[in-house]
Each structure stands twice: as structure tokens, then as C-alpha cells.
A and B are shown apart, each in its own frame.
Chain A
């Protein structure tokens, strides 16, 4: 190492890399175990005041943005930069030379060098051997001297750049990420059908941000599968600047709208509150202490009628598990659809996870849809059939995610470079072979060896093949 500065040396070491990468791996675990960026109330409730204080001081509640986690990333960045400069300056000449310097003794002295003697003289042998090398190696050079000749071949020299491309890509990702968090934003806005707005709210801080154009939601539509699971959310959007339409597009999840560096994504939706939307009243039972429920076993077809008090578990016959009634809700929603008054409960089957069960009073067959081993329903209720596709006129609002990330092109460049760099590094190699021919008095002595910077096993085979070709010619 020409530069003796101890700090430089410290940052050159691969040992430091190993330590940093392992530290990053282990500390990253913390943030997956302790929920991040929750409200202080939630933390106080879960951990108590003292531990909340402690975790908050250590930055663990937003650990991926804490000074010490970012510090580890910074150390890694310096490590990569210093190490790459050091190594690249060492191998620059080797990689970019037009006329590589050949040191035959480096090959001839290798322990795996092969030798043979041949009656022909050096010049005749060069004529035979040169095509063998030239066929396999893009670069092939013959040097003649009074003692004999040297045939040198190499290929894949540029593949040595692969690692630097990988390391450069890591740096691009880090810078791109930083640029995004400093100069970008991530916000959201809810827009009712038919309305327009130019203000959004920034995600973590809750600040208001004004766009220089308006977003209008012309229509929102929701399609469901037969099972009631959502199939597609679609918002017809129009962008307006000074009253002029500048862009129109239907967006769905995975197909956002992009305009002047700002991206608009479909992220949620909802129904407008009742005062904005006239609704037919459904006659509903009020909340009560206890309800009469029917439990139907799918296996036996038997139906059992039991009385359930709110909060008290009941055992379902046939060993089908337990059911706890949780609450009465006057205005329940199922996957965003209004289902009217309903009971909520938790069913714990004999085997498997507890599931939340919704029992709309209007629809007796509702729980059949869930496909469980036991079907729960409320006894003595109106027997209306549940149809997932609702026909009544309803007004929705669309929930949009609005983001700007000026670092994203750098990150994507980093992605491409990283994949390309890894491929080059792992699957291409710099191979060199050298045949040294010494002209003796009556015959010639030939030494042959090859080296590579990776995949030595494959190189061994290549050397074997070339040597066989040499002996047979």
C-alpha cells in the first residue's frame, strides 16, 4: 500500500467490509421486530414510559433513519470508495493497457506448468502453436528472441471491471436514496368523484403541500370477484392547469399516472360519509346483551342454535372450535361495501388460525362465502340474499398516493449496473495462457501454463485441452 495513512488503511480493509455488512444485517433485524413509526400512544401502551423513552432516544422507533444506522451506511460507502480507488489504481494499467507486458517466468514457474520436448525448432513450433492459442484467445502475441519464443494469449481482461461496477452501483443506490429523501416527497389525498384539488398531505409529517396543477377524479369504480374479493380499483383522473385539461388517464393499481416528475398512484378508496349520500334505511336490530346464533357444520350439515353473550366464548358442538361475539356495529362495511348493521365475532377453529367473522343482520347466508368448516348466522333475521355487486347509486372517493422522487433514475441506473456487474463478475473471467519455447541445441523445450482470476476449475480443463492439442500437433 503506497499510502501509509492509517485511516486510509483502515478503510481499505475487506475485514471492515465483513464487519459492516454483518452489523447491518444484525441491526436491521431490530426494525422488523419492533414496529416502526407508530404513534407515541401505541408505544406507551405496549412498552411503558421508561422503555418508550429509552427506545426513542436510541432511535430504534425509526431505526432505518437513525444516526447510527445511517452512520453504518456512511462507513460502508467510505469503505467501498476507498477500497475501490486503491484497487483500481493498482490494476488500472493491467486492465487498460493496449500492449500487456508478458512475464513468461510468472507462467513457467507455476507449479501446475506443463512441459514437453519437441524435435522441431522454435520457429516451427510457433507456427503450430500460435493458431491453437489464437483460436481461443482474442488477444494473442508472439515474442521471439535468441533463446526461443513466447506465445501469450489472454481474454476477458475487461471483466475485471465487473466488481467496480457492482461497487459503483451500491454508491448510486445510496446517493439516489438520499436525493429522494431530501428533494422528493411522498403524500396522499382523497378526492370525491367529480371533485378536484391541488393540495395533498405529506405522509409522515402531515404537512400540506400544494401542487402546481389540479387533480380531478371524474369517476371511481370498484370491481369484485364472485367471492367478494376486490378485482380492480379504477380512477378516471384529469389533470388541470389554470382550468385547462393537460392530461387524462384511468389509473389502476400498478398503472400510475406520471406528469412532470410527479407520480399519482391508486392506493385506497372509500365511500362518502352518509350526509353526502342519501341512503335507504334498513330496519336494524339495536345492540343487545345476547344474541341467538345458528352454527351449521359443513361436514355434517347439522345446525345448532346457541345463545351468545358479548365477550363470552361459546363452544361450538362437534368440536368445531370456539366463538366469541365481539360487538354490534350499526354501520358495518365488508371490503368497502356497506352491509348495514352487523355483529362481529372471532371464530377459533379446532385447527388453524382464529378468523374474524362478520354477521350482517340483513344477510343470513353471508358467512357461507367465507368457506369455513362452520357457518355462523344470526337466528330469526330477515332472509335477504347477499349480492356482492351493488346496484344502488353510490358516491366514492378515491385515495391517491402522490409522490415525487428525483433520485429514482439514479437508483434504477444502480439496479441495472448491479445486475450487469454481478453477472460479469461471477460468470466472466480474465484468462491468460503462455507458451514458453526454449531453443536447445537439438530440440526445443516447451513450458505451458495458464491462470485465471476466477473459476479455476474450468480453467484447469481449458489448460488440459490446449495441452492435449499441443501434444497432438
Chain B
């Protein structure tokens, strides 16, 4: 029997777990050798997830309700994990520091695990209700999740920053293996810039979609408002960096605050009333 996309994605959850395990082991036991299998595991996980997403797309057409696999919570979590993995690979390739993976791959793994295992999330392919049939929606969801994934990577680096900042000069133990503070700060900033650009595109495409479906581009529904709150927090971060005296730790705290807002936009808002029902389980 051919494999279904859900099975493929369950496998990639497992491979993401393997990658996290190798990275964390490499960090804790100070065995840089382990980062090699870890990297290949991430590559494999991203490749398998790519396959899973594409297969799901094909399956939806076979069911006669074809649409891009970005239409419910399960699909968006998978897309998030895929993007986070992809961005991480880019960072590792560009900045040649593997230990960042110990702080990033677990986030991708958790997203996949939550998507596949939570009893509240259905992995069925569902037909699209009329409001969701729009190309703007695909652009909107894809851009938002690119942004969220970049913020997740920035969040991981901010946590590393705060751990490192307690003993910046120690070169033994876990902290000794973490990249230098100014590099982490720079990387966090780059990730936030990338995320901010995509979140901006995401909010804007969302507004254009709302305008084409309901005739108003902004209606202060809770999900919209929370994405704007997130945007304000990261705009604060960008401007705080321009003020004298705000750097390193404060920026790391703001990046953590920003990612909390992302998580609330994503999960918390479903507890509040609103139009964005596709995020609901």
C-alpha cells in the first residue's frame, strides 16, 4: 500500500526528534562529532516533510477538493516546522555554528509532535469553505509562517544569548560551546529583520484577502489584533536597538516577549472569539 502523507509526516516528526537529540547530546556531552549526524537528520527531516507536504497536496486533488496544504491548524504547524528547519539549515550553512541547532530543532520537533499527537488536532484533509478559497490566503499563511519560523529561530538564539551572558568568558562546559555573544546578537537581529519583513507581508496579504472577501481590510478581530501586537513588539525591538544602552540582553528579552506574542497569536487566540476559524481545531 502506498504511504499516506500523514504517515510520511509522522516519520519526519521522529527524524526531527532524532536531530534534536543529537544536537542536545553534542552540546551537553561536548562531542562536536555528534553534530554531523544531527545535521543530516535535519536535512532528512526537512526533505521528508517536503515530501509529506507535496503528497498531501496531491492527495487533496485526488479527493476532488484540491487546495494548497495550508488550510488548518495541522497543516500550518507542519509548514511551520518545515520552514523552521529550512531557515535553520541556512543559518548553519552560512554561519557554520552547529550548536544553534540544539536550541532550534527542538522547536520544530515540538510543533510536529503537537500536530501529529494532540487529540484535538485533526490530520484529515478538509474541503475549503468559500471564504478560504483565495490565493491571497495562501500568500498570507505562507508569509506569516515564514515570519513565525524566523522568530522561533531568533527566540532560540535569544535563549542561548541569556545562557551565555551569565558566563561570557567561560570556555568550558555548555556555555563554552555556545557562539560568542556579539555573533548571537547579530544573528538574532538578522532573524528578527527577516521575520519582521515576512510578518509585515503576512499581515498585509491578510488585509488584502479580508478586503476581497468581506469588503474591509481591517476589522480588529482578535487574531488580526494579536498579529498587530506581535508586529508592534518587534517594531519596538528594532527601534530599541537604535537607542543607546539597549543591546544584548534587553534585545534578547524583547525577542522572547515577541515570540510569546507569536505563540499567543497562534494558539491563545483560539480561546477568544473571532473570524479566523480555520485556526481552530
A residues engaging B (CB < 8 A)? 14-15, 17-18, 21-22, 24-25, 28-29, 31-33, 35-36, 64, 177, 186, 225, 227, 229-233, 252-256, 263, 265-267, 351-353, 401-403, 405, 408, 411-412, 415, 418-419, 422-423, 426, 456-457
Contacts and interface: CB of A to CB of B under 8 A. Distances in A.
Contact of A32 (B120, B225, B232): B225
Interface of B: 65, 119-120, 126-127, 129-131, 133-134, 186, 193-194, 196-197, 200-201, 204, 207-209, 211-218, 220, 222, 225-226, 228-229, 232-233, 235-236, 239-240, 242-243, 261, 269, 272-273, 281
Contact of A29 (B65, B193, B196, B229): B229
Contacts of B193: 426
Given A31-B225, A253-B133, A401 B236 contact: no
A81 to B, nearest CB: 16
A224 to B, nearest CB: 10
Contacts of B236: 18, 21-22, 25
Contact of A352 (B120, B131, B201): B120
Contacts of A353: 120, 281
A254 B120 contact: no
B119 to A, nearest CB: 5
Given A21-B239, A28-B225, A423-B197, A177 B218 contact: yes
Given A28-B228, A267-B214, A351-B119, A233 B130 contact: yes
A35 B273 contact: yes
13 contacts: A22-B232, A24-B232, A25-B229, A25-B232, A28-B232, A32-B226, A35-B273, A253-B133, A254-B213, A256-B215, A267-B214, A352-B119, A457-B186
A32 B129 CA distance: 25
Given A21-B239, A267-B214, A422 B200 contact: yes
A405 B217 CA distance: 10
B143 to A, nearest CB: 10
Nearest to B231: A25
A64 B229 CA distance: 13
B239 A31 contact: no
Contacts of A232: 130
Contacts, number: 113
Nearest to A456: B186
Contacts of B208: 412, 415
A375 B242 CA distance: 61
Contacts of A29: 229
A14 B211 contact: no
B188 to A, nearest CB: 13
Given A232-B130, A352-B120, A419-B201, A265 B214 contact: yes
A246 B106 CA distance: 60
Nearest to A263: B215
A253 B131 contact: yes
B134 A254 contact: yes
Contacts of A33: 272
B217 A254 contact: no
Contacts of B216: 186, 403, 405
Contact of A14 (B133, B186, B243, B273): B243
Contacts of B196: 422, 426
A415 B65 contact: no
Given A408-B211, A419-B201, 13 more contacts: A22-B232, A22-B233, A28-B225, A33-B272, A225-B127, A253-B213, A254-B212, A352-B119, A402-B215, A408-B217, A418-B204, A419-B200, A422-B200
Given A31-B220, A351-B119, A419 B269 contact: no
Contacts of B207: 411, 415
A453 B197 CA distance: 19
Given A17-B239, A423-B197, A426-B197, A231 B217 contact: no
